[in-house]
Structure 1
């Protein structure tokens, strides 16, 4: 073999090795981003003052347990089976959580879109009973515990109904009999895995979408009850845990008051800190928010 062929072979081996190791690094980084950590830019003011538009939030996906699922099917929008590994902590009241938007395409059903996210504060946990009394969140009849942005709730409590923009005042289940709103809401029980719940008219309205999400098909609401294959569904046993999420800017947040309870599978991770922040108006770096902890 002459020197020219040796040089060509050496160059070829170098290129192949470079491609091989680069592919491993890129693939490893993608796996880390999907299963270990994430960075998300905040576009709206719904979590002010804790998080503001232009913040880049670092999300810890190991805290509540990494999710294992078919990534390729999920990216294509297919329904995937999710297994969550054990985390080193669990979701607590007032944690700031990143999750997939439950209704990325339509208000009629819950889906998971890998590219669409919300960030909100966890107000209610599985097994909690939540009420909003004159704008103030209350859990399990305990009025001493402060949940979410209490100052914003106080400000909201002093506003009359006609001070709210159209579409903001009324909330789920969008029913004229219950007539819930952002000042007078609930009580709503937040199901945990294994709970058996009697589906009277109110519960059928409240839990319809999450039951349909668990079953994987729609259930018509007829004669004040849900119908499953033509028969009334009178009792249901939940197979997942659910959470009630709220925005800190209480009057300006698309949260569980409007779209309902959050299934555990849609939770991505815990928002741990703001690692970078750029002003959306001047595009300047905000040093006062650099590496700022989220509380």
Structure 2
């Protein structure tokens, strides 16, 4: 839905609200017209139902309002003496239209100073759960979101089994675009294995101001642009997902809007200069390792583990070679000197050796994992010349991300029915890659990431597990920074005990 359509929908809702409540406003000592004034009518209603004014804000927060509207319907009914379980049920299942019945068909009186305390333990429990969900949803959506690392594409910096806190505030929290969804779950409801949302209606893309722009080599969480997956592990190419419900990915941003990017022999070059990663990160490639004096997988794995090489496929008993998914230059240079290692050969593609899976997946480009580009990364406001040769690089950005219709007739390119020789971008785009260069699904396979797909910035590892065991040294460590990560687990535990003690003391003092 466009902003105009949302405005019309909002005005219709205000009229419906006014028609269904104006008599109740009068019985509460207010004026009938107050029931029809947008936003102000909600502030007045909060006074009528004896609830704080800031509840009005929650009514306009996507996802949170799905919880708040039923609460307000029930509270409105109870403010006019309709307290039974049946009244509560009718208020919810009729989507608030039960208020019309109270407004027009019943002779009710406003209870000005009614008690707001639940009349049963069950009611108290439900009330606590609802507002815990509201608070958690607000934090999850606009401040901090928990995230788990499922793959080894950023191995050495982020490990499989790391549990992160991702800041939504650094780059600006994106308002939910999907307006009808279950709170605090992504695209699928656990256990039930069904969609957690309705794809329509959709809010236009909006983002709150952030205090930082994406910088080169930042680790970024974003929605996978080409996602058509039923869930994280099951693909269905016909499965449509809204932007904010696409699978969450985490990669390193190596290319910024306006940059020219190339990959030479597996290393990234930006504007002609080799990209230098932070000292905590390590570029990794795949290798064939020839052993001597080693005949079992266990012996080979034990040797590799001692050199911090943990990704292996298995030992071939005939060739005595082990295919290793990922190893850093540093680990390989140390391993070469081991007496049980005959040779180590890196697995890299050759210059000009085309890979049909590599972006832009066009026969005119003989690019691969290790030799790629040069490629211009679009920037908002930048104009490019459009030719049939250049078009494969930017076709998806023009059609899917910028929202234009594109057609080609011979050498003639048309956009929205008009012949075009140039195109001006309205969005910023980024190039995301994993440090594990031969074992990472990244921009080399699906291209640019628009800024409206960006979720946030990982800032903190609060827990880490491997093989069913905790990695204590990674608990409460920062994602950024230089030098060896330092665990703040003990200070965090001390602060937690202090807060718990203070809370317990206050409760006892208040009770006394």
TM-score range (shorter-chain normalised) is: 0.7 to 0.9
Match of 1:161 in 2: 349
Distance 1:12 1:242, change over 3 A: same
Which of 132, 135, 140 is residue 33 of structure 1 equivalent to?
140
Q: Is the 8 A contact 2:258 2:376 kept in 1?
A: yes
Q: Is the 8 A contact 1:103 1:111 kept in 2?
A: no
Deviation for aligned residue 1:95: 0.6
Q: Is the 8 A contact 1:152 1:249 kept in 2?
A: yes
- TM-score, with normalisation over the residues of structure 2? 0.50
Q: Deviations over 1:252-275 (max 9, x none)?
A: 111111100000011000011211
State the alpha-carbon separation in 2 of the partners of residues 98 and 127 from structure 1. 21
Q: Is the 8 A contact 1:104 1:112 kept in 2?
A: no
Higher helix share: 2
Alignment of 1:60-139 (within 5 A): 60-73=167-180, 75-78=197-200, 80-105=203-228, 106=237, 112-114=243-245, 116-139=247-270
SS in 1 for 2:397: helix
SS in 1 for 2:389: helix
Distance 1:283 1:240, change over 3 A: same
State the alpha-carbon separation in 2 of the partners of residues 266 and 42 from structure 1. 18
- TM-score, with normalisation over the residues of structure 1? 0.83
Distance 1:229 1:67, change over 3 A: closer
State the alpha-carbon separation in 1 of the partners of residues 249 and 225 from structure 2. 9
Moved more, 69-78 or 244-253: 69-78
**Alignment pair present for 1:191 and 2:191:** no
Could you list the runs of 5+ residues in structure 1 that have no partner in the other structure? 1-8
Q: Deviations over 1:13-59 (max 9, x none)?
A: 77556544542231121121112111111111111111111111110
Moved more, 68-77 or 27-36: 68-77
State the alpha-carbon separation in 1 of the partners of residues 240 and 117 from structure 2. 57
Deviation for aligned residue 1:188: 0.9
State the alpha-carbon separation in 2 of the partners of residues 15 and 64 from structure 1. 41
SS in 2 for 1:81: coil
**Alignment pair present for 1:284 and 2:469:** yes
Which of 1, 7, 12 is residue 119 of structure 2 equivalent to?
12
Match of 1:6 in 2: none
Distance 1:101 1:22, change over 3 A: same
**Alignment pair present for 1:146 and 2:146:** no
State the alpha-carbon separation in 2 of the partners of residues 121 and 92 from structure 1. 10
SS in 2 for 1:191: coil
Q: Is the 8 A contact 2:169 2:211 kept in 1?
A: yes
**More RCO (CA 8 Å, sep 6+):** 1
Q: Deviations over 1:46-103 (max 9, x none)?
A: 1111111111111001011111244425742345422111111111011111011111
State the alpha-carbon separation in 1 of the partners of residues 240 and 402 from structure 2. 12
Could you list the runs of 5+ residues in structure 2 that have no partner in the other structure? 1-115, 182-196, 229-236, 286-327, 330-344, 481-512
State the alpha-carbon separation in 2 of the partners of residues 125 and 23 from structure 1. 42
Distance 1:27 1:199, change over 3 A: same
Q: Is the 8 A contact 2:262 2:372 kept in 1?
A: yes
Match of 1:4 in 2: none
**Alignment pair present for 1:294 and 2:483:** no
Question: Larger Cα Rg: Structure 1 or Structure 2?
Answer: 2
SS in 1 for 2:169: coil
Q: Is the 8 A contact 2:265 2:348 kept in 1?
A: no
Match of 1:236 in 2: 423
